[in-house]
Structure 1
């Protein structure tokens, strides 16, 4: 086993007082592979474990002359951002600080150049790639903003070493220790959140090993920022606070995610494992991307609300379908509007409720903005008929115009609320 970099302890002057934040060592590497391939596998595995395997893609090989060349060591994509990963591992006993700084400079520059070449190849074409879940998915590179992410595996990097990003040129680039890559994914547990943070800091030179400190500074700045006010139309749509509580989600939350967000991960896994056929994998990826826009800091509160709904609905004994719902109405352009429901009956009976609620939200949200409709997602948990499973997950994903009229919306609202 191999383990690089020492555990890091940060003392954070947080709004609620002094906070001690421990950043553990990078995960141990398997001895079944050589150091370099093991570090590459671990980098992809951590993004799949704490993010989602569907957003992680394996390196593809490209024939070049008489040889074969890999295009990067992995690719992580979500919400319009693509991070091309290049990993460099130090497989030697560390020498002097000058020697290690020289090795780092040479290999980081080499990795950056390799990443730029791979991005040039992938950024302007459609290709079928293999996800970490083992599925072939067609990716249109022109739809993404590309970032080069260099991951360094080093047992003892010299102190005060700051990688130059000059080699990256116009390509946004970030250089991280593998420990710090794992820190970001473990802290946020959302691929979208990690990629948006990396995009936020890409191109800014940072001391190697200093990413947790930089992230913490960004989180403190976000905590001090004034929350954006919903436009009046959306605030009226949100209704009473108990129906759709106002929740300000920082882009970089200071508190780490924990197991309280596990229910939302289960929902993502259910969607990821629903059989839909290979031709629809691109659509599944887009739906998962829409779901992953739910802010990481909101997921524990949502999970707690859904668990409460599940306990309440499970006690229902009447013939009518009972349901509870939570609506997520985001600031325009930030995330996708969503409705989460828990119903007392099997989905075959409860499906009309989810369909009506999602259609109504889609119509009212995008009409209130007076712009071309984007996406809206509806999620419903219903009692399962399967063994060893208490609840099933079902989703409805609406995208673009649905043809719903104002009269249709009034009829839907009448069915949902009992009044026009």
Structure 2
């Protein structure tokens, strides 16, 4: 990171006696922005310090991310005559995963020299353990339990891994940069406060994993300085020119929209309802009964696809869904109104469709499924890479029972289109009609 960028950020302790308090002042185009970095979540009172630190890290990832993406092993994997722990915790979203090794200082800190030696020792051990976990998962898939209590089989060969050494320490020596032997995969060291900051800032497991992979390729920094580095990258994202994408790939009338990967303000920091809509949709998918043909692995895939929506646009899209839902309920009873918005990512591999309709019934469900398949067929034809395209469709319809504001329907398709020529013509006549008037 250029020195000119680094000079625009600085840190100071809010209370000189409390090393866990941190405030950043960020110079932005709109003037100084003050961001208070809160201490890590408190440890549970009824658990020993070490396991308590693991639980607190798990809680932060589940609360600000999603419980479905946080895993621990269902049972110990046997190795020889003993048992081998498969990492403290795993984060898995889509095709990326993190082995999280939490190490806690459970005795009173000693001199800085001794603490540096201890941290260096446990950091090297943590990364070795993470490497062993990945090796074991690649040799033999294991059953892991997520934060909802559901069991999924994790095959290490299907996931790109990063090792995360997570330190719980009351007073990390200044400028402590741990090092370790290259484990053959990305690796990074964080304090537990750093971890909580990232999840609280981004509110998305996918976004946190993407960030960890991104910064793991950079030179290591001192433990506790991750919020500073985050804002350096956020400033660089803000200043970067938008990626050039052919907006017509999504269809006629497509508009190019760009947003920084890393927002400077915490996602949902304004506390308004709109930013929570996407999280509520994720919760709907997570807590709804699965159809007979689907598995928990399918649910995890659906959630990973939805969580890939850039965090910088979630508030906007949440407000859009609220506006569309408010609009369709005004439709006369004998009519059905649709409001639909689509988005294609810059890599042209993920095509998202968000829709609202006046009511839910078999006709509406069938119509939405057909719409998703049609648009997938069209977009994959334009990109010329159908094997790489995933299309996910989310439809909200008003719930009339009063139990909840809406019902959520999800459709997913990927790869080569399965539409026959006849189906394509029928769906085209239904959905590609010129607007009235």
Q: Please, what TM-score do these two structures have when normalized by structure 1?
A: 0.92
Distance across 1 between alignment mates of 2:378 and 2:294: 32
Distance across 2 between alignment mates of 1:81 and 1:184: 17
**1:306 maps to what in 2?**
321
The reply to whether residue 328 of structure 1 matches residue 343 of structure 2 is yes
Distance across 1 between alignment mates of 2:434 and 2:294: 42
**1:250 maps to what in 2?**
260
Q: Is the 8 A contact 2:392 2:411 kept in 1?
A: yes
Distance across 2 between alignment mates of 1:406 and 1:186: 48
**1:148 maps to what in 2?**
163
Alignment counterpart, residue 197 of structure 1, candidates 201, 206, 211: 211
Residue 334 of structure 2 aligns to a residue whose secondary structure is: coil
Residue 256 of structure 1 aligns to a residue whose secondary structure is: coil
Q: CA deviation at 1:51?
A: 1.1
Relative distance call for 1:272 and 1:328 in structure 2 (3 A) is same
Q: How many residues align?
A: 410
**2:69 maps to what in 1?**
55
Deviates more, 1:403-412 or 1:297-306: 403-412
Relative distance call for 1:47 and 1:232 in structure 2 (3 A) is closer
Distance across 1 between alignment mates of 2:241 and 2:139: 38
**1:274 maps to what in 2?**
288
The reply to whether residue 162 of structure 1 matches residue 162 of structure 2 is no
RMSD, aligned α-carbons: 2.1
Q: Is the 8 A contact 1:119 1:146 kept in 2?
A: yes
Deviates more, 1:298-307 or 1:167-176: 167-176
Distance across 1 between alignment mates of 2:353 and 2:129: 43
Q: Is the 8 A contact 2:128 2:183 kept in 1?
A: no
Q: Please, what TM-score do these two structures have when normalized by structure 2?
A: 0.89
Q: How does 1:13-412 map to 2 (within 5 A)?
A: 13-59=27-73, 60-164=75-179, 166-203=180-217, 204-231=219-246, 233-234=248-249, 237=251, 239-240=252-253, 245-258=255-268, 259=271, 260-276=274-290, 280-333=295-348, 336-373=350-387, 374-404=389-419, 408-412=423-427
Relative distance call for 1:295 and 1:124 in structure 2 (3 A) is farther
Relative distance call for 1:278 and 1:38 in structure 2 (3 A) is farther
Deviations 1:122-163 (A, max 9, x none): 134432211111111122211111110010000111111111
Deviates more, 1:115-124 or 1:392-401: 115-124
Gaps of 5+ in 1: none
Q: Is the 8 A contact 1:372 1:401 kept in 2?
A: yes
Q: Is the 8 A contact 1:183 1:212 kept in 2?
A: yes
**2:429 maps to what in 1?**
414
Gaps of 5+ in 2: 1-17
Distance across 2 between alignment mates of 1:109 and 1:38: 22
Distance across 2 between alignment mates of 1:300 and 1:407: 39
Relative distance call for 1:92 and 1:284 in structure 2 (3 A) is same
Deviates more, 1:372-381 or 1:174-183: 372-381
Deviates more, 1:203-212 or 1:245-254: 245-254
Distance across 1 between alignment mates of 2:255 and 2:276: 21
Q: CA deviation at 1:387?
A: 4.5
